[in-house]
Amino acid sequence: MKVEREPPGQVVQRVLARRDAFTAARDLSVNILMDRPATADEGSYRRERSLFIQYVNPEILACYGKDVTRGDVGQILTQALRATRLAVLLTDAYLIFPSSYMFELPWFDVFLAGIEPLIHEGLIRHTSRTPELTAYQDTKVREYRRDERNPYSTSHRVHIEPDLAWYPHFGKPTSAGIADQWSAALAPEGGLSGVVHAVARAWHRPYERVARIMAKSPERLEGQAFVKRFVERTLPGPVPDDADSLLGLFLSAAYLRSYVRDLDTAILTDLPIGRLSCELDDSMEDMKGRVLSSRRLDLALHWLRVDHFVHRGASWKELVLLRSSAEFGMITSLLYGSGSANAFRLAIIGASRSRHFGPAVTCGDALSNVAVVADQLARMPG
């Protein structure tokens, strides 16, 4: 589709006859892909997969030295809104966050207010095991019962936008999923081996003895949330500093992996505030196509000459319009799928010769640039 430059507030579309065949073939290909159920071994980026908002999670941010209740709040909120502009471009579905954010983040209502148009369009969802926030809160009160400042205190009332949809969290409870990963990771070559070795040195005990002690932590939690401060209280001695951060990273990675697998989502990582992936990456078998770099998208937007528009000028409605174009989906599938990065570079070089390719000021400009590059890609052999 060719999108011409337009006066502010207008979008003029013109499909060129020479591209009708390409447009029809591309749309057919996209429709087949969208209608095809994913196979068990399919490990690639899929735009129909939702994105999980992990970049404001308090435990994950703590792993990267950020405190969601103190001096880092302004930076976290700014980066979260910026990240959401990218996240919404990387899915044809919606963005999901755990219902816990509405209780654990004092400023989360400000974030929701900043993305209110997406909420009204049904593109933001919160997830938990029950749609009833009162019942959810009662459950979490018990899980955080030994917290000095329980964020789920019954005196805490949450205002929820009427258009904010709920998404069911099926599968095992998150704590059970983390417990399974915890047990497997205590093996000598497991993900907790570094923690066990450090604790064994600090406590002057053999590795096997420390591993057996730590294996009882899930049971000793007695239904409390599986977070670092509670886990540490189940141990007979302090965790040394060189293991403390590793413990937090493991628990956050286990939490993140549980949500990503249960909800079949992807995550946006490699953000200016920190990678925020907890060492999960695309090389892991169960993470293939799910760990999406914001830097890669930002670079592509820069080459497409739409980066300033995306981050500074576009409304949420315009971002949804941009992501909904088949051409933009084609480009992101190339960037995060098995396509050639060189093909995209060559398409950018070819597009730069077009009079329709320039710095995007309006949504029509952005759509035009994307269409020109997609046209270049469609012309490439093979």
How many angstroms separate the CA atoms of 169 and 73, rounded?
Answer: 28
Please tell me the least confidently modeled range out of 16-25, 246-255, 267-276, 297-306. 16-25
* 3-class SS of residue 3: strand
CA distance 312 to 318: 12
**Which pLDDT does position 43 carry in this prediction?**
56
> 3-state class of 4 per DSSP?
strand
pTM of the model: 0.85
Tokens coding 148: 């000095």
**C-beta separation of 61 from 75 below 8 A:** no
Q: Mean per-residue pLDDT for 161-174?
A: 89
Q: Which residue(s) pair with 14 in the sheet? A: 2
How do beta strands 2-4 and 12-14 pair? antiparallel
pLDDT in tens, 96-151: 999 999 999 999 999 999 999 999 999 999 999 999 999 999 999 999 998 888 89
* Predicted local distance difference test score (pLDDT) of residue 161: 81
Phi, psi of 331 (to 5 degrees): -70, -45
- Name residues whose C-beta falls within 8 Å of residue 184's C-beta, 6 or more positions apart in sequence: 190, 191
Furthest CA-CA distance within the chain: 77
Confidence class for position 157, pLDDT limits 50, 70, 90 = confident
pLDDT for the residue numbered 29: 34
Q: What is the mean pLDDT of residues 253-269?
A: 96
Mean pLDDT of 195-203: 94
Closest CA to 200 of 243, 250, 254, 248: 243
Is residue 198 over pLDDT 70? Answer: yes
DSSP E strand stretches across 32-78: 50-52
Q: d(Cα 223, Cα 52) in Å, to the nearest integer?
A: 25
User: Within a 13 Å sphere around the CA of 135, how many CA atoms are in the beta-carbon half?
Assistant: 5
Task: Give the pLDDT band of residue 37 (cuts 50, 70, 90).
Answer: very low
| Mean pLDDT, residues 235-264 taken together | 94
pLDDT of residue 382: 63
Average pLDDT, the chain: 87
Which residues on adjacent β-strands are paired with residue 97? 126
For 316-374, the pLDDT digits (tens) are 999 999 999 999 999 999 999 877 788 999 999 999 999 889 999 999 999 999 999 99
